[in-house]
Structure 1
Amino acid sequence: MKKYLLLLLLGLFSPFSWGQIAPTDIQEPGLFIGLNNGQRVYARKLQIKSPLFKKTFVLINDSAQYDMSNVQYFQDEEGFYTRISNNKRSDFAKRVSVGKISKFYTSKTSYDNYYPGMYGYGYGGYGYGMPSTRQVYYFSKDGGPLADMNYQNLRQALNDNPGSLEVLEKYRRSKRVETGLTVAGSGIFIYGLINSLKAPATGVVQRADPTLYLGLGLAAIPWAMHFFRKDHLNEAIELYNYDLAQQPPASR
């Protein structure tokens, strides 16, 4: 009796029990949803509905409704989605590539709380602002839980592939250069701004210190580098999956 009670408690409190971590390696055709209780429901027609002032739900075959909070993963005509479960957010990410390391992403919309107003004044802080959308990427190794796609997490996941680690080191070096240029440019800009304010005005025009422009130029270099820099994080993942695909299958 004690043994069964112990197993029950482990099942309830274990972070790896079903419903806590959504699967990421399901590969099969068709439309379906996976529920928190482990049940998978197949469909001929699957739609995500977000009615105004109501909770989002999944509509199956124009009849059955499932609250989105009870769904761990689903596959519609656009692809496979799995729930992101961490301390920051609980949303769904779309799978964009499949391999030993699979990639996922979700779109995040933010609003700038500052508007340039009339005569140079601004206002904000009330939830207003122009929306901007960016893609947030995740990855999964061997069908495990999603992890943020960053240098630290990838270095741990790809540590058994020297080629991928070398690519990640290129990423780290480039980020250090960008950070150094940004810090140096900001410091020089502030120095130039202070000197410009201290300098006596020539007529009605305040003379700008040359270091002001030097600081702006240095701080702008990292921004320009983004247009030419390789995506080393994705490159490391692709190399990892490629090297594994080239290995001969293990003999039985």
Structure 2
Amino acid sequence: MASRFYFLLLALGVATPALTQAQNAPRQLNTLPALPDSARRPGRQPQLSQQPQVDQPPQQAQPPRPPATSVPAAPETTRFAVGLKNGTLYKAYDVEVKQPVFGRTYLLLDDQRRVEMNEVSFYEDESGHYVRTILPKSSREVTLRRDRVGRLSLYSATSTQYAGNGYNPYGYGPYGYGGRFGGYGYGGPVYRTVKTEYFSKDNGPIQDMSLRNLSLATADNAGSTALLLQARKYQRITTLSYVAAAGVTALGLFSTLTSSQSGPSISPLIYAAIPLAIVPIVLGGKQQQSIKQAISLYNRGQE
């Protein structure tokens, strides 16, 4: 009996250090600590620590923004410029050219300011830009409209000219065939609008729009020179056609007036002159086209 007791004490003495060493041994890395049995409940998982919930203050409702209103643009008070010869520059919303029956032409700015035309260097209105200048071989100052801006700036003047009383040698008057006064018709006065063109090189003096002047002004551009030579060829053919048409028409009129046949009779020469009169119309358009191309080529600076 005593030997069994001593054997049990020896066994307890050997097991006690082993249990103590196992309890004090370090845990393995990357493992969670073991929870006591009292914390383990069936169906419930251990929860990790959570951040405390902070109560967010309620957001206040933003007041609605008023709709964006566009700022109205300032009214335009100046559209045109009027420059005087003394260097004064006027800005106006409305510029009118006044031509009284008695008196001199003047400009009226915004229905208030009157400017004499002889004081004006240039002005603008709804129809374009105008300059006051003296034409070549003239001492009178005129108004020219500027049509194009460039190294060769183009200008023009429009006038109305009397073209006769409407005499018609072909027998068609204002009252039908034969007219009121016999075999030839007589109409009222006839007027035509004539546009005369000018140009200036590098804002220089105004020059007549002639092939000679243009050839001298564009002599430093080979392409423009070639086009103007072509336009000169059209001009020569046009002149010859006009002369031939006039001669044939004159002969036809003489033959018609001296005809011994009874009743109106038109000479065939009159009809022969019609093709000769059409040639200048066709070639005249080609001539003007060549001149415009030469000016455009020169202003673009291309050879």
Query: TM-score scaled by structure 2?
Result: 0.59
Q: 2:122: which partner in 1?
A: 73
Q: Give the secondary structure class of the aligned counterpart of 1:137.
A: strand
Q: 2:236: which partner in 1?
A: 176
Which structure has more strand as a fraction of its residues? Answer: 1
| Aligned counterparts, 1:60-139, within 5 A | 60-86=109-135, 87=138, 90-116=141-167, 118-119=180-181, 120=184, 122=186, 129-139=189-199
Q: 2:276: which partner in 1?
A: 218
Q: 1:44: which partner in 2?
A: 92
Q: Return the offset for 1:65.
A: 1.4
Higher RCO, 1 vs 2 (CA within 8 Å, ≥6 residues apart)? 1
Alpha-carbon separation, structure 1, partners of 2:101 and 2:253: 50
Per-residue Cα deviation, 1:200-225 (whole angstroms, up to 9, x for no partner): 53xx3576554443234323321344
Alpha-carbon separation, structure 1, partners of 2:257 and 2:164: 29
CA contact (8 A) 2:238 2:284 kept: no
Q: Say if 1:191 and 1:218 are closer, same or farther in 2 by CA, change over 3 A.
A: same
Alpha-carbon separation, structure 1, partners of 2:222 and 2:214: 13
Q: 1:32: which partner in 2?
A: 81
Q: Give the secondary structure class of the aligned counterpart of 1:215.
A: helix
Task: Report the aligned-residue RMSD.
Answer: 3.0
2:278 maps to amino acid: A
Q: Say if 1:162 and 1:53 are closer, same or farther in 2 by CA, change over 3 A.
A: same
Q: Say if 1:195 and 1:243 are closer, same or farther in 2 by CA, change over 3 A.
A: same
| Aligned counterparts, 1:201-212, within 5 A | 201=261, 204-205=262-263, 209-212=267-270
Q: Give the secondary structure class of the aligned counterpart of 1:145.
A: coil
Q: Say if 1:140 and 1:30 are closer, same or farther in 2 by CA, change over 3 A.
A: farther
Alpha-carbon separation, structure 2, partners of 1:108 and 1:183: 26
Q: Return the offset for 1:79.
A: 3.1
Q: Say if 1:140 and 1:205 are closer, same or farther in 2 by CA, change over 3 A.
A: same
Structure 2 regions of 5+ residues with no counterpart?
1-77, 168-173, 175-179
Query: TM-score scaled by structure 1?
Result: 0.70
2:277 maps to amino acid: A
Per-residue Cα deviation, 1:186-245 (whole angstroms, up to 9, x for no partner): 2233334445556653xx35765544432343233213444565522221110101125x
Larger Rg: 2
Per-residue Cα deviation, 1:56-101 (whole angstroms, up to 9, x for no partner): 2222344321111221211334432111312175321122221111
Structure 1 regions of 5+ residues with no counterpart?
1-28, 247-252
How many residues of Structure 1 are paired with residues of Structure 2 in the alignment?
210
Q: Give the secondary structure class of the aligned counterpart of 2:293.
A: helix
Q: Give the secondary structure class of the aligned counterpart of 1:58.
A: strand
Q: Is the deviation greater in 47-56 or in 153-162? A: 47-56
1:91 maps to amino acid: V
Q: 1:19: which partner in 2?
A: none
1:153 maps to amino acid: N
